Amino acid sequence: MRQLTIHELQSYLALKYKEGRSSTALFMKLVEEIGEVAEVLNQLEGRKADTGNTSLEKELVDVIHYTVAIASINQIDLSKAIIKKDKQAAIKYNQSPNLEEFLIVQSKEG
């Protein structure tokens, strides 16, 4: 199976949610999914009894889904936003390479 890009996911979710869902409704779903991630982590780390019917992978995918959906319906290009934010953080925390530099090196090696 080929790799999915953030841009492709955003285009798909923009189409899926073009009508009928507000940012607030999607945010409420996101908060619910974040709570489910917390439940799974608590189970995995032994702080709560393992019910065996939840998956960290599935819950993280749900968090990504609703996060990207909110960005999509608000016309936010996440690829650009992530690189910009990472560049700012790299400067603030004196980290190298930043994501953009990493991607350049990866493209030359690949």
pTM reported for the whole predicted model: 0.89
The CA-CA-CA angle for residues 77, 75, 13, to 5°, reads: 85
Of 23, 26, 16, whose CA–CA distance to 8 is shortest? 16
Asked if pLDDT for residue 103 goes beyond 80, the answer is: yes
CATH for the 1-76 domain, from 3.10.180.10, 1.10.287.1080, 3.60.150.10, 3.40.50.2300 = 1.10.287.1080
Q: Give the pLDDT of residue 84.
A: 98
pLDDT on residue 33: 98
Q: What is the Cα 95 distance to its own chain's centre? A: 22
pLDDT digit string (tens) for 26-58? 999 999 999 999 999 999 998 988 887 779 999
- Please give the pLDDT value at position 40: 96
- How many angstroms separate the CA atoms of 15 and 76, rounded? 14
How far apart CA 105 and CA 102 sit, in angstroms, is 5
The predicted structure's pLDDT at residue 31: 98
Structural domain spans, the chain: 1-76, 78-110
Does residue 15 surpass a pLDDT of 90? yes
For 49-84, letters b (16+ CB in 10 Å) and e give eeeeeeeeeebeebbebbbbbbbbbeeeebeeeebe
| pLDDT per residue as tens digits for the range 57-97 | 999 999 999 999 999 999 999 999 999 999 999 999 999 99
pLDDT at site 37: 97
